[in-house]
Structure formats: C-alpha cells, structure tokens
Amino acid sequence: MFSPVQTNLFLCCFLIKLVNCKLFNVTNIMENKTGIINELLEKRFSPLAFDHKPVEEVKILKLFEAARWAPSSRNEQPWRFIYATGNDRAAFDNMLETLADGNRIWAQNVPLLILSIAAKNSSFNGKPNYYAMHDTGMSVGNLLVQATDMGLYVHQMGGFDKEMARKNLDIPDGYDPVAMIAVGYRGNAEDLPADLQKREKTERTRKELNDFVFKSRWKEGR
C-alpha cells in the first residue's frame, strides 16, 4: 500500500507526463463529448420542422422575462421585441411577409414569430450605442436557454426585409430590426420539402476551440 504522500507524488508525476504529452490538448478533450457543458446548451437546436401546436401564453411571457434579465452595457437594456402568434393570423402574416422566400416556406408553419430590435442610441447621452447589437443578442441568448428548458425550439433568421419589417410593424426611427425568431415545438422532418429534409437531418458541426480561442495573443492564419 502507498502512503498518502507517495500517492500524491505518483499522481503529480502522472499529470505532468500527461500535460506534456502531445495528445493532451483542448480539442482531444472536448471532441465528441457530452456532459461537458450545461445540458440545455447541448440540447439547443435550430430546426426547420415545427409542430402546429400553439405555444402557451405563460411560456411566451417566460421567454421575455428571461430576456429581460440579460446583462447590458450600463444597464441600457436596448432590446425590444414584437411578436405574433398563429392564432392572430393577420398579425402573423404581417411578420411572415418580411421573410426571405427560403425562410417563409418553413416558417409559415411555426406557431410564434418574434422580431428582436435594438435601440441605436444610448439613453444616457444620445450617442450611438455600439454595444446595442451585442446586448440584444445577449437577451436572445437568455430567451434561447429558457425556451430549451421549457421544451421549445428556436430558429433565428437574418433573412428578412428589414425595411419592410420597419414599415409593417411601425418601428420608429432610432431602432433597428435585428433578427426574426421562430419558436415552437419540434415537428416532423418528413413534412418538409425534400431539400429541407436534408438540411434538417444534417449533423450539427462547430469549429474547434483551437480555431477561435487564443491564449495571450492572436494566432496567424486564424
């Protein structure tokens, strides 16, 4: 039997050898692993196939409550949201009309559409708020996590006519439409057109950490 001191020395030597081993790097640790990050982040997925089931009003309010508690520069909270449900078809179609054709073909089936909007200028000094888009994205990030926790799925879209959205939804000057967001319960991929079925079934991929995380300074070629 080893003494506690001998055991600790053995473990230290083992770890030193492991760290020096070429196979020991961030990529190898993280690749194809589950359970490393929060399960809600692992589960999050942006589908094209949505069920027609309406999103309950209480869940809609929880989405925006989660967004409300996002951090922001100087606590400006520059985000604004406009939403419409499939139950109010006129309002829903008013938002749906702004989408690019490639998005409208599947988004017409979702039960809830949301438009995120950012205030251009700071409420403190009236100058441009360069962090408004970042902060609005932070609030939508909160919304995504809350949605996933409630069994909902979210698909964000940049493919929409921002000027049409401004006109259709009476968005005043001083605010910029940011992204259209589809929310609902997961549907059946087989209900999609063939080309969209292929997209729906494509495995999610992400860059390796080594491609975008640099210690101390920027790395060339990245």
Complete DSSP assignment for the chain: ---HHHHHHHHHHHHHHHHHSTT-SHHHHHTT--SSS-HHHHH----S-B-SPPPPHHHHHHHHHHHHT---GGG---EEEEEEETTSHHHHHHHHTTB-HHHHHHHTT-SEEEEEEEESB-TTTSSB-TTHHHHHHHHHHHHHHHHHHTT-EEEEE--B-HHHHHHHTTPPTTEEEEEEEEEE-B--GGGS-HHHHHHHHSPP----HHHH--SSSPPTT-
For the chain, domain boundaries: 53-183
- Prediction pTM value: 0.83
The percent of residues in the chain predicted with pLDDT above 90, rounded, is: 73
pLDDT band at 28 (very low <50, low <70, confident <90, very high): low
CATH no. for 53-183: 3.40.109.10
- Which tens digit of pLDDT belongs to each residue from 111-146? 999 999 999 999 999 999 999 999 999 999 999 999
